[in-house]
Structure formats: C-alpha cells, structure tokens
Structure 1
Amino acid sequence: MKFIDEFRDPQAVKTLITQIGTALKGVDPSRQPLQIMEVCGGHTHAIFRFGLDKLLPEGIEFVHGPGCPVCVLPRGRIDDAVTLARQPGTLLCSYGDAVRVPGDLGSLLDAKAAGADVRIVYSPLDALALAKQNPDKQVVFFAIGFETTAPATALTLRQARQQGVENFSVLCHHITIGPPLRAILDDPGVRLDGLVAPGHVSMVVGQSPYQFIVEEYRKPVVIAGFEPIDFLTALLGVVRQIADGRAEVENAYKRAVQSAGNAVALRAMAEVFTLAPKSDWRGLGAIDQSGLMLSDAFAEFDAERRFGLKPTQVAEPEGCGCAQVLRGQLRPADCPLFGKACTPSAPVGALMVSSEGACAAYYQYRSPQD
C-alpha cells in the first residue's frame, strides 16, 4: 500500500478541496453548478467509494460518461455471443463482467448454466492457450473494450497467426473513445462544461484523441488517474481552465500517460484492426467509424466471418434508463427500475452489472436517502 497511500492522503485531499473551492470563486455564478463529465466508470466508482462528491463545495455536479466498455455493449452483441456459445463444439471466452450482461437470449452465464462451454478469462492470451489445449473445439474470444484492451487482442492475434493456431477466432467489439464523446457533445439535451478523461485509455492513445473537444467545442479536458488525489487534481485543472476562459487538454496522470501514447500498442492496433464503417453503442445508437474490426490480413480470425454470423439489433428493456444515463440525461437513482426490478443480483441493464457501471456505483455506495 505504500505506493497508493500518498494518493489517498487526507491532508492532501483537504488541500485540493480548498483549492477547488477557491477556483470556483473565479467562475461566473450564473454558470454554476458546473456540469463536469467523468468519462470513465472507474472514476465514477472512485467518486462514490471515497465520497468525493460530498466533500466538494457546491457549484459542481458530475455527469456520468460512456467510458465503461461493458455498459456501452449493445444487447444485440450479447445475443451474438450467446449464439456462438450455443454452437456445438464451441468454447467461448469472455471477461468476467460481460458474462452477466443480459440480452434477449439471456446472458452468457445463462448459456453456461444451460450447458454451453463459456469460460471467464483474464486476457485474450488465456483464450489462445485454451485453443491450443482444445484442438477439437473452436475457441472464440469475446473481444470488448476501448483502446485500453484492444492492444492485448491485437498482440494475441499476431501470436495466433505466428503459431498457426487455426481453431481460434475473435468476436470483435472493440471501440474507440473519441466518437461517443462527440455524439454526446452534439446532443442538445446535454450540457457539459468540462471533462475528466480516462487514464487507462490515455496510456495507449495519449492526448490527441481529445484535441477536437477543445478545438471544436471549447471544453477543457484533463486526463486523470483513479485515486482520490489523481481525480481531484484533474478536477481542479478543469475548474481553473473554466475560470480562466481556457480550453486545453491537460495531463494530470503523467506518471502513467505520455502525450503521444504507447507507440508499441498503437502499432499493434494499426496492424491488426481497421475502423469499422459503423458500430452500435448501447444508449448512443450507431456511430460512424467508432469501432474496430479485423483488417483483411487477420480476417481468418474473424468469428463473424468464420461462423456466418449476422449481427443483430435488440431494443432496450421497457423502462430501462441505461441509455439516458450513458448520455448524461438521467441519474441512476432516477431510473424507475433502479433498486427495484434492477439490482446487482438480478440486473436488467448493463450499468448495474459492470464493476464500472454508474448504477452499480450508486447501489453500492449510496443509501436510499441519497
């Protein structure tokens, strides 16, 4: 814990809270409360886990963003994965959170309970290892996530090709961070004054994907880590920019993020993936050039092509507010299903399933009175 304690130091937190309050005094009162989006669900959980929202002075409200990969996974994509898992002779591998997200055909966990061979893995390399261990089965890795996890999939596919593993394929739903933010900023029903950008995505892509936000929308962006000091430092940077009338991309996570990103990871992604013409997002609809698909050089590993899968589109359950929460138009506790029909043990929407979901954060860290 010695490397974490300094980023949770109570006195340092108090100092930052005071500095944020001072910076707020320089913001026109008519603009307050400021609407600050924490893009990543990891930041949402940090806010509520450590009670940061209750420590901050009045004048700041948080808007929960679309940066949780499980949360933006459309229900139709879950059905695609379930369809593959049900095929005889198939072994489907997935990250843990994704197996509990329900689609119209149920969840991957339901498919496993019904006899499908569904395995939870920690990395795509685990799935590749299973393919080598089970040469009589078709092993499919359900590849989801932003640029954070895409490099691992890319490197695994390179290794699969080098080793000649023919019974391994990928159901690809990797997505990119910029297009959904543009979709939200273009939404007339959402007001944002600034954004706190995710540290882990930025470790890969650097600062450039956020540049359009400051140039076209004149909104400040500050990249943050996930400890209290990290987040509050970034928040202070956002408020100071607003007070000064500036809009810049700042990096408050320099111990992990370089301005140009990770060159090795970016090269691997460029080799294995290409931008898909259009990708579906839960709550945001179809967004042009927002997702990644396998390049022609790796088409043999595309599970959709291998199994002749036709992607499906499935509507959200009646009354589910996940779409509005992801767009910053609704707070989780205002959803009519929250804490009633939708709970962590019996989730209706992905935001209650994911360990980074905004609904899960509200449910875990807030009392009914809040």
Structure 2
Amino acid sequence: MKYLDEFSDPDLAKRLVDQIHAVTTRPWAMMEVCGGQTHSIIRHGIDQLLPDGVEMIHGPGCPVCVTPLEIIDRALAIAARPGVIFCSFGDMLRVPGSSQDLFSVKSAGGDVRVVYSPLDALKLARDNPDKEVVFFGIGFETTAPANAMTVHQARRLGVRNFSLLVSHVLVPPAIAAIMESPTCRVQAFLAAGHVCSVMGTAEYPPLAQRYQVPIVVTGFEPLDILEGVRRTILQLEQGRHELENAYPRAVRDEGNIPAMEMLRDVFEVTDRTWRGIGMIPSSGWQLSEKYAEFDAERRFDVTGIRTAESALCRSGEVLQGLIKPHECPAFGKECTPRNPLGATMVSSEGACAAYFTYRRLELVDAK
C-alpha cells in the first residue's frame, strides 16, 4: 500500500475482522501501550468489531497522562518566575496541577509560549539572552531524541540561558511493572510503533519470554491495529509468546542508531514516577552529568515540590487498565475536557478524552 487512506480500506478491514473471528476460540485481554492507538481504536470502533470476550485494555501510553503531578507543579513554579520564558507543546498547557495549569500562569502574566519544536525554544534563548528559557521535555522514547539534540546544540553553541525540564519515560520497564502487578489481567501487548522506530525491538523479546506474553509492534491506522490484533490472537491461540513486527514500513529491528547514540550521550537512566501508577525503577531518563547545567530542576531548585492527586480522579486505575474511563464516577460530570481532573481527560491521547469524544453519547444511551 502506498497511500494513507488505504490503511482505512473498509473491505480490507472486514477481511481482517473476519480472520480475527475465525481464529478466536476463547476470551483474551490485550493492552495497547500507546495513547495514539487508543484513540484510533475508540474513534473507529475497532474494539466493538472484535469477538465477544476479546478485550482491549488501554495502557499508560499517553505521555501527557503519565507525567507526574509533581513535575507539573514544578513546571508551574518555574513558569511563574519573572524573567523566565517557559516553552511547551500545546497539549501540556491545560494539564491540571495541584491548583492551576500553565494557561492560568500565562493569564496571570507568566511568559508561557507554545512551540512546535524544542529547537524553537533554543532560538528564543539565543534571541533573548537576558531571559531564562525553559523547554518542558516530556514523553516516551519518541520525543526524546529531538530534546537530546537541542540540549546538545545548546552546549555546543554556548547558550547558557536555556534549560530543559525533563520528564521522559521508557516503555519496556512499564510493561514489566504492569506484568508484575498483582491486579494484572494483560495477556498480550500491542507495542507502540513510533517508540520502536527510534529504539528498535531488541528490548522486547526478553520481556515476551520472561512474562510469557506475545508482543506485536504495530502502527496507528485501523488496518495496522487490526493486523496487530490478528497476529496477537494467533499467538495466544497457539500458545506462543514472541515479538512480531507488524509495522515494518517504519520499524527496523536495530532502530535509529544515530538517535540512540544521541540519547546515550545526553541522558542517563533513572527511576521515574508515573502519574497514577507510582515509581517504576529505571523507567525514565534524566540529563547526564555532562549536561547537568541544562537541568531546569537544578537551576531553579524545585526538586522539593511534592503533591497529592485529586481524590475524585481515578485516572491511575484507567492508566493501569483496571477500569474503563466511563466507570469512573466523575467521568463526564466533575471531569470533562473543559474542566479536567486528570491528564487522561485533557490530553489529546488520553483514554478518558477518547471516550468522552467518541463514546459519550453511546454510554448515555446505554444507561
């Protein structure tokens, strides 16, 4: 296939759905790791096309959603300081902290700006030498190379008024944490194709073997996901637990070698707290000592900020696949995209936002 619309072809989709029904003999529960996959599944009703008993569990694959509340509050504290230009991608501006969000800081006079690349923030730092420019670097392995390159460039160019607030997380340790949870119901994973396009697939076969679960790398279009589901169920039915790459047009086993070299130079692995889940050992990146002078947490001394989640918000259980979004009592009531309690409702990749956008009326009609 050459064109994107071909990956939504209804005839091909029906053939894949028929094949999935033909090979399924019992209930199975699989988790899609990526929030982009979650939105595609809900938007196109893919989960409703699957055989009875085949459940899609929505995992913690939304980078905005898993950014811990304490990091949000640290961002708010930095952004409110005079002389700071705080830069972020747009989806972080409405994520609620303990008492406000970045839009609130901006409306109160803070210099908060939406950028489309971390290099935009670096340019702002060069153009405004009298200001401290901070970029909010969040996300999985997908967004980390661009942030690493920007810090590398800042050091090479001698731009000392630029810093990075880092909250990068890693997928493989999260899979391990999910499988080791006493409440785990996951029997297989659809791995995120864009993460594997950067990091390759080498970390996944050991996970598949250790936890006896199939892991299928897939993309984000309807046919990508259906093919991933078909391969996953085939493995489950046959008692296999292997890594398969169902996204070869974007993913090579070796990954993006220059990107990985840049990541190893700029970052080092650290323990990381995930919003709604808690601390997962060795599940994140922080700036290495070589680049420590560009660490915004150190520069602005905000590491002591600690926070507590809203008692009403059950996004942590959503992120762990323990409940569906609409099973939270606050869903669509106290918690909406306009007034979100948690990041899973505000993020463009959040499971709660997906259900609110594409399933809310169905859920109301079903009551």
Q: Does the aligned pair in 2 maintain the 1:77–1:311 contact within 8 Å? A: no
Matches within 5 A, 1:192-207: 192-207=186-201
Match of 2:13 in 1: 13
Match of 2:356 in 1: 363
1:119-142 per-residue CA deviation (whole Å, 9 max, x = no partner) reads: 111111111011111111000011
Give the 3-state SS of the residue equivalent to 2:233 in structure 1.
Answer: helix
**Distance (whole Å) between structure 2 residues aligned to residue 333 and residue 284 of structure 1:** 19
Match of 2:4 in 1: 4
- Do structure 1's residue 142 and structure 2's residue 136 form an aligned pair? yes
The farther-off stretch of 233-242 and 207-216 is 207-216
**Cα distance change, pair 94–57 in 1 and its aligned pair in 2 (3 A):** same
Give the 3-state SS of the residue equivalent to 1:6 in structure 2.
Answer: helix
Match of 1:337 in 2: 330
**Distance (whole Å) between structure 1 residues aligned to residue 99 and residue 161 of structure 2:** 25
Q: How many angstroms does 1:323 deviate by?
A: 0.6
Q: Does the aligned pair in 1 maintain the 2:345–2:351 contact within 8 Å? A: yes
Pick aligned residue for 1:285 from 269, 274, 278: 278
Which one-letter code corresponds to 1:11 in the other structure?
D
1:319-369 per-residue CA deviation (whole Å, 9 max, x = no partner) reads: 211010111111100001100000011111100010000000000001223
- Do structure 1's residue 240 and structure 2's residue 240 form an aligned pair? no
Matches within 5 A, 1:139-288: 139-276=133-270, 278-288=271-281
- Do structure 1's residue 354 and structure 2's residue 350 form an aligned pair? no
Q: How many angstroms does 1:2 deviate by?
A: 6.9
Q: Could you list the runs of 5+ residues in structure 1 that have no partner in the other structure?
A: none
Matches within 5 A, 1:35-74: 35-74=29-68
* TM value normalised by structure 2: 0.97
Which one-letter code corresponds to 1:18 in the other structure?
D
Q: Does the aligned pair in 1 maintain the 2:137–2:165 contact within 8 Å? A: yes
Q: How many angstroms does 1:311 deviate by?
A: 4.2
**Distance (whole Å) between structure 2 residues aligned to residue 125 and residue 261 of structure 1:** 23
**Distance (whole Å) between structure 1 residues aligned to residue 80 and residue 269 of structure 2:** 29
Which one-letter code corresponds to 2:110 in the other structure?
A
Match of 1:125 in 2: 119
Give the 3-state SS of the residue equivalent to 1:257 in structure 2.
Answer: coil
Q: How many angstroms does 1:294 deviate by?
A: 0.6
Pick aligned residue for 1:316 from 300, 306, 309: 309
Give the 3-state SS of the residue equivalent to 2:61 in structure 1.
Answer: coil
Which one-letter code corresponds to 2:326 in the other structure?
A
Q: Does the aligned pair in 2 maintain the 1:73–1:281 contact within 8 Å? A: yes
Q: Could you list the runs of 5+ residues in structure 2 that have no partner in the other structure?
A: none
Identity of aligned residues (%): 51
Q: How many angstroms does 1:42 deviate by?
A: 0.5
Aligned residue-pair number: 363
Q: How many angstroms does 1:48 deviate by?
A: 1.1
Give the 3-state SS of the residue equivalent to 2:63 in structure 1.
Answer: coil
**Distance (whole Å) between structure 1 residues aligned to residue 108 and residue 74 of structure 2:** 16
Match of 1:22 in 2: 22
**Cα distance change, pair 20–340 in 1 and its aligned pair in 2 (3 A):** same
Give the 3-state SS of the residue equivalent to 2:79 in structure 1.
Answer: helix
Match of 1:297 in 2: 290
Give the 3-state SS of the residue equivalent to 1:15 in structure 2.
Answer: helix
1:227-256 per-residue CA deviation (whole Å, 9 max, x = no partner) reads: 001000011010000011100010000000
Which one-letter code corresponds to 1:321 in the other structure?
R
Q: Does the aligned pair in 2 maintain the 1:202–1:261 contact within 8 Å? A: yes
**Distance (whole Å) between structure 1 residues aligned to residue 133 and residue 265 of structure 2:** 22
* TM value normalised by structure 1: 0.96
**Distance (whole Å) between structure 1 residues aligned to residue 240 and residue 303 of structure 2:** 47
1:62-96 per-residue CA deviation (whole Å, 9 max, x = no partner) reads: 10001111000111110000000011100100111
